[in-house]
């Protein structure tokens, strides 16, 4: 299993163990309550999932690139649900 798969697995475990739903996780990590996860908020999620500090910036950027369909350089609630659904189906 590669580094990407391990990181995705760690995110999946965090969200399933710490939160009742992906929605609850989104609300928790959306610190400024603007309805979007910005790069810093995603890095906090990655930190809580145990991702090393060296990788957080790169992984946050990749997550935004992969899931930001609206083009605003953040992950909104719907984009987050898609990302989590993909994690659920992959594990």
Which CATH number does the domain housing residue 41 bear? 1.10.238.10
Which pLDDT value is given to residue 79?
Answer: 95
Does residue 84 contact residue 15 with C-beta atoms inside 8 Å?
Answer: yes
- Provide the domain count of the chain: 1
What are the CA-CA distances from residue 29 to residues 26, 48, 59, 60 (Å)?
Answer: 5, 10, 16, 13
Q: Tell me: the pLDDT tens digits for 4-59?
A: 888 988 999 999 999 999 999 999 999 999 999 999 999 999 999 999 999 999 99
pTM given for the model? 0.91
Six-digit token string for 20? 């009742």
Six-digit token string for 21? 């739903």
Quick check: 90 pLDDT over 70? Answer: no
pLDDT band at 1; cut points 50, 70, 90: low
- Over its C-alpha atoms, the chain yields an Rg (Å, rounded) of 12
Range of the domain at 44: 3-90
Of 61, 50, 38, nearest to 12 by C-alpha is 50
């Amino acid at each position: 299993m590669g580094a990407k798969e391990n990181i995705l697995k760690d995110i999946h475990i965090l969200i399933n163990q710490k939160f009742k739903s992906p929605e609850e996780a989104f609300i928790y990590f959306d610190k400024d309550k603007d309805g979007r996860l910005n790069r810093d908020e995603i890095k906090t999620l990655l930190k809580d999932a145990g991702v090393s500090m060296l990788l957080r910036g790169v992984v946050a950027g990749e997550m935004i690139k992969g899931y930001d369909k609206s083009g605003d350089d953040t992950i909104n609630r719907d984009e987050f649900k898609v990302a989590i659904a993909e994690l659920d189906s992959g594990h």
